[in-house]
Amino acid sequence: MEEQDKFCEYLSGVSPVWCPGCGNYGILSSLVEALGEIDLATKDIALISGIGCASRLPYFVKAYGFHGIHGRTLPIAQGVKVANPELTVVAVAGDGDGLAIGGGHLPHLARNNTDLTYLMFNNAIYGMTKGQFSPTTALSSITKTTPFGLFGEPTHPTALAIVYGATFVARGFSVKKEQLKDLIIQGIHHRGFSFIEILTSCSSFNTTDMNVARIIKRLEPVPASHNVEDKVEALRLATDEEKIYHGIFQRVERPTLEDRLQEVEKAAKKNGARQFEALLGQFQ
Amino acid sequence: MRHDLVIRVAGESGEGIITIGETIARIAAREGLSIVTFRTFPAEIKGGACMIQVRVSDGKISYHGEKIDFLVCLNQDALNENYGDLHELGALLCEAECDLPEEKSPRTVYRVPFERIAVREIGSRISKNIVVLGTLSQLLDIPVKSIEAFLAEKFAKKSKAILDHNIDALQRGIRFAREKLGGTSGFKYPSGKGDRRLLMTGNEAIALGAAGAGLKTFFGYPITPASEIMEWLAVHLPKMGGKVLQTEDEISAICAVAGASWAGAKAMTSTSGPGLSLMSETLGLLSMAEIPAVIVDSQRGGPSTGMPTKTEQSDLLLALYGSHGDSPRAVLAPTSVGDCFQLTGLAFDLAEKYQLPVIMLVDQALSARLETVDPELVKQPPAVTRLSVQPGADGGYVRYRLNESGISPVALPGTAGGEHMVTGMEHDELGNFACDEETHTAMTVKRYRKLQMIGNDPLTRGLSLHFGDEKAEIGIVTWGSTAGPAEDAVRLAASMGIAVQAIVPKILNPLPHEELKRFFARVKHIIVPELNFTGQLASLLRSTYRVPTISLTKIKGVPLEPSEIVDKIIEAQESLSVRSEKRYGRAG
Ligand SMILES: Cc1ncc(C[n+]2csc(CCOP(=O)(O)OP(=O)(O)O)c2C)c(N)n1
Ligand code: SF4
Ligand SMILES: [Mg+2]
């Protein structure tokens, strides 16, 4: 009971607007439990999202929330972190938001190693706009805009994050709430860019790709023997045709964007900090 | 009597042409003279024609000058290209072999084998520009000591041998002028009052203004002609504890600005038209979520990739309205380098005070223009910061409170009890999604009321430039860097006996309504000169005030010249004397 109360502290009181049976409910509960377990002060949490069903999440959590525009979740989150590194920044968006319209940002936050946790809700469909394919929808799927079958190959979010050099890459499943909570905790604790792909079902528009029973059948933890610094093996596991591995694929230490910006400041102040007046000399 | 001199140096990019112009400008600034420069950039990355024009004056100037008094051409192409702009009574200094056009009354020409002196006598082609500088300074009677002192500073970090080499080149140039060209020309460099002035470009002034206003985070994506703003800040802002990050595109840049500003840091980006187009969706987000942001657009020839190195004022309507829905933002338009500094400070103040995006519109010519600025104007202002609250741990904070002022106090992330949502969706006072008609109306009115308040704010009062004769029936309304040629045109017209008055608003959204209405009541004709095809300011004035306008537009990639404006003034004057029938706006 006490435990329960603690997690409730992280709920805003706004009722989620998701459809009954939507996988996102599971993610929300894993997230608030993770926040509770880390014992983060709600005032220090910044939840940034884009547009889509997934991106509605910040409304339901007690924190500082920013519901931005479609595809720009990561740039906004990066700005927040650069401005105030004290905040724990969690970015939340769907597969369309993060890999279609906003797909150009992922490699750059991974390169920068911006210290934030990115939860990509992968339901293999555009839920919010009611059922068009997303970059992760299976080949040949019949969706609202592919009545004769989808012809683009699906992308693998986790594999992309590995290749882009994200320093923490994991995959979870909305139904496996304990494991997901654990991944989120580790992601938040990781210093650097943490990417977590979360498989979740859209009960209204895609019950095939993320069909819970079918996923459960293929689901398997990342082998305990996996070396999280072995990129090639991580990639092999992430793209396995039969099994869907969940767990941590990649984890490496690298200076974060904030570390780098601090180094820049130190180098710039090598001869002492400058006030405004000191900048005028060059114009004389 | 005011003493003015217009010098232009033209040649091939990479020959050190710009250094010659900048050296003259720097020395003049130190002697308290006024400088306005204009330079063109070749479209090529390496090589190509380039020139710098420097107008030096012991009075106040705001334009780089139309006809050239003293032209320097380092090759035949430069001569062919620039000779037509030389004043009838002007003089030419050129490379010895250049051919001149046939003329009835030939102008003074000084021929110098610069190439030969540099290559044969000194043994280095790259010192050619210093030889030119020597000859030029001798002919114009610029104190050699100042030039030597300047070179000594410029090469302070290099070896003594390099400095000596340059001084030698300078002296050879001077000697040639003394021995072969008769020493001095009739043109004399004005002498200064000795009060040092600061010399900077528009882009530098913007960057400096931002640093002075307390900019903490800058995000940008490189683009001509705005890149220098980010480049300057990358070097200097970290010294003051600020952060600069080049992002993967302009959308990312402005979104990072949104995030950083929401988190409490003063944030800015700078770009040109193509970037502003990409940013337009986020401009709406900033309006809707009520987040302060400063966006600089250094306009270039458009549309699309257009003419990246050329100047134009064709983003006005994009700046005013670009983004879907009703998305209020303030728009400022500096007219000079001094303005670039001051209005950047104002942009931050307005953004912070009213929690909305502020766009600063400059253009390529102003961005790249080196101009003297009175050091008194370049002071760090007491900066405004946004109204914030400390709600206390028990919460109850309402982000978008509908209060009388329309400005809802902000709780910055990290503040206990201030947890809230900001959103680009229409929302109620708490930031929760709401799409009922009352809420959308109330919130839209709240957001637009800010523009009205900005218009009434003492911060924006008295911002417009006024010149000319207040009784004149011919009026000019213009904006941005076209203020310079307009001011000269008004003076030129006056010298021809035509009275003209001009107003140049430096805030274009909201427009200074009362001031403009008073102006329109005073004049019979309204000429609107600007650098775009459709007459964007003219159409804004027509639709806002229902006044007829005479649009004067130019899209040649270079500023308007005073004489072009004077031609329009003469037309208006003629129609006044003919007392023609009622004229309604002729959109050029
Ligand atoms: C610029 C822009 N284009 C299109 C849309 C419409 N839109 C809203 S959400 C969405 C896709 C959502 O899919 P996803 O990101 O996978 O999130 P989900 O709803 O599946 O959680 C689209 C296309 C928009 N809001 N903005
Ligand atoms: S449409 Fe799909 S993703 Fe969106 S709330 Fe409903 S079930 Fe969830
Ligand atoms: Mg989706």
B246-293: per-residue pLDDT in tens? 999 999 999 999 999 999 999 999 999 999 999 999 999 999 999 999
Domain end residue (candidates: B417, B441, B461): B461
Contact A82 B260 (CB under 8 A): yes
Whole-angstrom Cα distance, residue B216 to residue B536?
A: 34
- The pLDDT-based confidence of A3 (bands split at 50, 70, 90) is low
Taking every pair of Cα atoms in chain B, the longest distance, rounded to a whole number of angstroms, is: 88
Domain identity same for B543 and B438: no
Print the domain residue range for B535.
466-584
Domain identity same for B22 and B133: yes
Minimal C-alpha gap between A136 and chain B (Å): 23
Domain identity same for B262 and B408: no
Residue, of B581 and B380, whose pLDDT is higher = B380
List the one residue out of B59, B82, B84, B80 whose CA is nearest residue B5.
Answer: B59
Quick one: pLDDT at residue A46?
Answer: 98
Kindly identify which residue of chain A lies nearest to residue B214, measuring between CA atoms: A276
**Calculated CA dihedral for residues A132, A205, A156, A25, nearest 10 degrees:** 130
Specify the number of domains making up chain B.
4
Domain identity same for B117 and B213: no
Whole-angstrom Cα distance, residue B329 to residue B349?
A: 13
Q: What is the DSSP letter of B427?
A: B
Q: Is the pLDDT of residue B574 over 80?
A: yes
Nearest ligand, CA A19? 2
Paired tokens of B4:
């003015």
Q: What is the DSSP letter of A225?
A: T
Whole-angstrom Cα distance, residue B459 to residue A103?
A: 42
Decide: helix, strand or coil at residue B432: coil
Q: What is the CATH number of the domain that holds B227?
A: 3.40.50.970
Q: What is the DSSP letter of B103?
A: -
Mapped to the 3 state alphabet, what secondary structure does B452-491 carry? HHHHHCHHHCCCCEEEECCCCCEEEECCHHHHHHHHHHHH
Residue from A59, A128, A136, A174 whose mutation best tests the ligand 2 pocket (most atoms within 8 A of CB): A128
Paired tokens of B245:
């990050």
For B199-252, the pLDDT digits (tens) are: 999 999 999 999 999 999 999 999 999 999 999 999 999 999 999 999 999 999
Whole-Å CA distances, B88 to A66, B69, B430: 64, 9, 70
Domain identity same for B110 and B176: yes
Residue A48 near residue A77 (C-beta atoms within 8 A):
yes
List the one residue out of B319, B320, B316, B366 whose CA is nearest residue B483.
Answer: B366
Quick one: pLDDT at residue B587?
Answer: 41
Domain identity same for B534 and B509: yes
For A124-168, the pLDDT digits (tens) are: 999 999 999 999 999 999 999 999 999 999 999 999 999 999 999
Among A72, A115, A257, A265, most B C-beta atoms within 10 A, so best to mutate, is: A72
Q: What is the CATH number of the domain that holds B489?
A: 3.40.50.920
Closest Cβ opposite residue A87 in set B30, B263, B433? B263
Residue B219 near residue B256 (C-beta atoms within 8 A):
yes
Torsion-angle region of B329 (φ positive above 0: left; ψ -120 to 50: alpha; else: beta): beta
Measured between beta carbons, which residues in chain B are less than 8 angstroms from residue A277?
380
CA angle B73, B53, B122 (to 5 degrees): 45
Quick one: pLDDT at residue B410?
Answer: 96
> In one letter, which amino acid is B149?
A
Q: Which CATH number fits domain A2-253: 3.40.50.261, 3.20.19.10, 3.40.50.970, 3.30.70.2860?
A: 3.40.50.970
List the one residue out of B140, B178, B108 whose CA is nearest residue B24.
Answer: B140
Domain end residue (candidates: B344, B378, B412): B378
Cβ neighbors of A94 (< 8 A, separation 6 or more) are A50, A52, A53, A54, A55, A120, A121, A122, A123, A126, A127, A128, A134
Domain end residue (candidates: B461, B488, B518): B461
Residue B403 backbone dihedrals phi, psi, to 5 degrees: -110, 180
Residue B167 near residue B151 (C-beta atoms within 8 A):
yes
Whole-angstrom Cα distance, residue B487 to residue B283?
A: 33
- Taking only residues 184 to 243 of chain A, the set having a beta carbon closer than 8 angstroms to any beta carbon of chain B reads none
Q: Measuring from each residue's beta carbon to the nearest atom of ligand 1, which residues come in under 6 Å?
A: A 51-54, 70, 94-97, 121, 123, 125-129, 134
Whole-angstrom Cα distance, residue B309 to residue B305?
A: 10
Contact B252 A14 (CB under 8 A): no
Q: Answer whether A201 contacts ligand 2 (Cβ < 6 A).
A: no
Whole-angstrom Cα distance, residue B41 to residue B18?
A: 10
Measured between beta carbons, which residues in chain B are less than 8 angstroms from residue A278?
239
Kindly identify which residue of chain A lies nearest to residue B212, measuring between CA atoms: A276
For residue A126, the CA-to-ligand 1 centroid distance in Å is 6
Whole-angstrom Cα distance, residue A105 to residue B404?
A: 40
Minimal C-alpha gap between A118 and chain B (Å): 15
List the one residue out of B515, B531, B514 whose CA is nearest residue B466.
Answer: B515
For A227-261, the pLDDT digits (tens) are: 999 999 999 999 999 999 999 999 999 999 999 99
Q: Which atom of ligand 1 is nearest to the CA of A128?
A: 19
Residue B541 near residue B23 (C-beta atoms within 8 A):
no
Minimal C-alpha gap between A92 and chain B (Å): 14
Residue whose CA is at the smallest distance from ligand 2 atom 2: A202
For B450-490, the pLDDT digits (tens) are: 999 999 999 999 999 999 999 999 999 999 999 999 999 99
- The pLDDT-based confidence of A2 (bands split at 50, 70, 90) is low
Domain boundaries, chain A: 2-253, 255-284
CA angle B63, B220, B48 (to 5 degrees): 50
Kindly identify which residue of chain A lies nearest to residue B204, measuring between CA atoms: A283
ipTM greater than 0.95, yes or no? yes
Q: How high is the mean pLDDT of chain B?
A: 94
Quick one: pLDDT at residue B1?
Answer: 65
Domain identity same for B480 and B414: no
Residue A117 is inside which H or E element, if any? Answer: strand A116-122
- Taking only residues 101 to 120 of chain A, the set having a beta carbon closer than 8 angstroms to any beta carbon of chain B reads 104-105, 107-108
Quick one: pLDDT at residue B188?
Answer: 86
Contact B241 A265 (CB under 8 A): yes
Q: Is B425 exposed, middle or buried (0-12, 13-18, 19+ CB in 10 A)?
A: middle
Residue B483 near residue B334 (C-beta atoms within 8 A):
no
**Residues in a beta bridge with A244:** A219
Minimal C-alpha gap between A268 and chain B (Å): 5
The answer to whether residue B191 sits within a structural domain is: no
Whole-Å CA distances, B206 to A273, B89, B233, B287: 21, 38, 10, 23
Query: For the residues A82-99, what does the mean pLDDT come to?
Result: 98
Domain identity same for B456 and B511: no
Q: Is the pLDDT of residue B57 over 90?
A: yes
List the one residue out of A9, A198, A17, A12 whose CA is nearest residue A91.
Answer: A198
Q: What is the DSSP letter of B497?
A: T
For residue A125, the CA-to-ligand 2 centroid distance in Å is 9
Q: Is A67 part of the contact surface with chain B (CB cutoff 8 Å)?
A: yes
List the one residue out of B309, B297, B302, B307 whose CA is nearest residue B368.
Answer: B309
> In one letter, which amino acid is B39?
R
Domain identity same for B457 and B490: no
Query: For the residues B416-427, what does the mean pLDDT come to?
Result: 97
Quick one: pLDDT at residue B42?
Answer: 82
Decide: helix, strand or coil at residue A100: helix
Domain identity same for B11 and B128: yes
